[in-house]
């Protein structure tokens, strides 16, 4: 397993240290040969060198690595986030990582914010289209800075782009023995892209007769995620709606510190990152929760076909939470490093 590591900025650096410790521990205990290579791309690097990442970096990653782990990006010294845009969006667009994979599982009753449901009821996956929609970067300004200013941001959906993410959602459901896939859009108000999503979704759904397909407008989706999350198994939606709905998903999991994600192109090099940002105020303080980053390592193992360490990592986190061996934000009093050590100890017991 050749894994590129990009810690990034702020708490990205702190949580990546623990994630790499877990990656090395779980790989070693599972007999998986692992080579990691760390890259300095960050705000610091950008300020020192004027470069976000070198020319050809993504070609190098594609040729020489199986997966990429990124911490987080964002630094007040680079207010326009130029480096983060080049690195994060660069990876998503240049490597064509069209699947944003966001498992939403609440791993401990204490983290469950809902009065009406148990933690076990919060267990579904959101697939967010990751390369199109309003984030494709097309649009422009006219008469900028005047009273007549016009701004356009275009929402681009292609048949190919919609079909491949919808197909991925159904394929995942089938492979995991799930029986329900729900598509969320806003086709009542956004008629043109909505119509494309609708026709594509129902056409693909016809190919999966064993799976119940359903549709919700995205405003209803977020309401239902709070009202009755147990109804969802697999949700598929566009880039912007997925961005918003998955942050609500993080709250259902116990907060940003617990949320993991994959940016995936099936069969190709893919990138894995915790959902949270660089939380500059916590950088280097030992307060950052490393569990989202460590669960992200689980997704990386899963993507590369190593189910056993993937399951062991999640089980170790469940046990740590149960024992209160976790950081402050999820009810414990451990430092970032001590929480990472607690996971590795449990992995040794499970896989050793
Ligand atoms: N993918 C990314 O790299 C990414 C994602 C979101 C935000 N950002 C950037 O990060 C910077 C800070 O943004 P923000 O404050 O809006 O979001 P953030 O996720 O960094 O932090 C928001 C709050 O969530 C909590 N939090 C987040 N991660 C945590 C963790 N691991 N452990 C404990 N608590 C945690 C903290 O209370 C924190 O103040 C900005 O520059 C932003 O642009 C980057």
Q: What pLDDT does 325 receive?
A: 98
Q: What pLDDT does 70 receive?
A: 98
* Nearest protein Cα to ligand 1, atom 44: 277
Q: What is the DSSP letter of 330?
A: G
Q: What pLDDT does 96 receive?
A: 96
User: What angle do helix axes 291-303 and 336-351 make, rounded to 10 degrees?
Assistant: 40
Measured between alpha carbons, how far apart are the two ends of the chain, in Å?
Answer: 19
* Nearest protein Cα to ligand 1, atom 21: 279
Is 254 touching ligand 1 by the criterion CB < 6 Å? no
* CB-CB neighbours of 319 under 10 Å: 18
Q: For 274-309, how does the pLDDT look when each residue is reduced to its tens digit (9 = 90+)?
A: 999 999 999 999 999 999 999 999 999 999 999 999
Q: What percent of the chain has pLDDT over 90?
A: 98
Distance 202 CA to ligand 1 centre (A): 37
**CA–centroid distance for 55 within its chain:** 26
Is 286 touching ligand 1 by the criterion CB < 6 Å? no
| DSSP alpha helix (H) spans, the chain | 11-29, 43-49, 57-64, 82-84, 90-94, 159-175, 191-205, 218-227, 239-253, 291-303, 307-322, 336-351
* Nearest protein Cα to ligand 1, atom 23: 279
Q: Per-residue pLDDT averaged across 85-107, rounded?
A: 95
Q: What is the DSSP letter of 274?
A: E
Distance 117 CA to ligand 1 centre (A): 27
Is 298 touching ligand 1 by the criterion CB < 6 Å? no
* Nearest protein Cα to ligand 1, atom 10: 277
Is 303 touching ligand 1 by the criterion CB < 6 Å? no
Q: For 155-182, how does the pLDDT look when each residue is reduced to its tens digit (9 = 90+)?
A: 999 999 999 999 999 999 999 999 999 9
Distance 81 CA to ligand 1 centre (A): 13
Cα radius of gyration (the chain):
20
Q: What pLDDT does 252 receive?
A: 98
Q: Compute φ and ψ for 301, nearest 5 degrees.
A: -60, -45
Q: Spell out the residues 6+ positions from residue 281 whose beta carbon is closer than 8 angstroms to its own.
A: none
**Distance between CA atoms of 68 and 303, rounded to whole angstroms?**
11
* Nearest protein Cα to ligand 1, atom 30: 257
Q: Spell out the residues 6+ positions from residue 41 whose beta carbon is closer than 8 angstroms to its own.
A: 6, 8, 52, 53, 57, 83, 87
Q: For 105-154, how does the pLDDT look when each residue is reduced to its tens digit (9 = 90+)?
A: 999 999 999 999 999 999 999 999 999 999 988 999 999 999 999 999 99
13 has pLDDT over 90: yes
Q: Which tokens in the block code for residue 75?
A: 């630094």
* CB-CB neighbours of 269 under 10 Å: 21
**Distance between CA atoms of 256 and 31, rounded to whole angstroms?**
32
Is 74 touching ligand 1 by the criterion CB < 6 Å? yes
The model carries a pTM of 0.96
Q: For 45-69, how does the pLDDT look when each residue is reduced to its tens digit (9 = 90+)?
A: 999 999 999 999 999 999 999 999 9
Q: What pLDDT does 288 receive?
A: 98
* Nearest protein Cα to ligand 1, atom 8: 277
* Nearest protein Cα to ligand 1, atom 6: 277
Q: Per-residue pLDDT averaged across 216-226, rounded?
A: 98
Is 81 touching ligand 1 by the criterion CB < 6 Å? yes
With the most atoms of ligand 1 within 8 angstroms of its CB, the residue from 276, 283, 292 to mutate is 276
């Amino acid at each position: 397993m050749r894994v590129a590591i990009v810690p990034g900025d702020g708490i990205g650096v702190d949580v990546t240290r623990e994630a790499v410790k877990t990656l090395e521990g779980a790989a070693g205990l599972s007999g998986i040969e692992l080579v990691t290579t760390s890259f300095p791309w960050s705000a610091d690097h950008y300020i020192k060198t004027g470069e976000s990442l070198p020319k050809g970096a993504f070609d190098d990653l594609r040729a020489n690595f199986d997966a990429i782990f990124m911490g987080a990006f964002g630094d007040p010294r680079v207010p326009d986030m130029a480096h983060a845009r080049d690195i994060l969006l660069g990876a998503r667009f240049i490597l064509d990582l069209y699947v944003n994979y966001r498992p939403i599982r609440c791993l401990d009753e204490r983290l469950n914010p809902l009065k009406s449901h148990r933690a076990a009821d919060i267990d579904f996956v959101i697939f967010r289209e990751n390369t199109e929609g309003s984030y494709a970067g097309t649009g422009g300004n006219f008469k900028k800075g005047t009273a007549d200013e016009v701004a356009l941001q275009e929402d681009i959906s292609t048949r190919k782009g919609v079909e491949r993410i919808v197909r991925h959602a159904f394929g995942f459901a089938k492979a995991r023995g799930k029986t329900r896939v729900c598509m969320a859009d806003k086709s009542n108000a956004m008629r043109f892209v909505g119509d494309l999503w609708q026709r594509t979704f129902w056409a693909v759904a016809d190919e999966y007769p064993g799976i119940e397909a359903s549709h919700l407008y995205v405003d209803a989706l977020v309401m239902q995620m709070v009202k009755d999350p147990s109804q969802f198994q697999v949700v598929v939606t566009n880039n912007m709606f997925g961005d918003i709905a998955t942050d609500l998903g993080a709250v259902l999991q116990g907060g940003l510190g617990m949320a993991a994600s994959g940016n995936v192109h099936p069969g190709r090099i893919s990138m894995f990152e915790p959902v949270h940002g660089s939380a500059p105020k916590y950088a280097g303080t030992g307060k950052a929760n490393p569990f989202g980053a460590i669960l992200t390592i689980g997704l990386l193992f899963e993507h590369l076909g190593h189910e056993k360490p993937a399951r062991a990592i999640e089980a170790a986190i469940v046990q740590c939470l149960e024992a209160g061996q976790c950081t402050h934000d999820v009810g414990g009093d451990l430092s970032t490093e001590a929480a990472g050590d607690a996971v590795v100890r449990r992995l040794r017991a499970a896989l050793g």
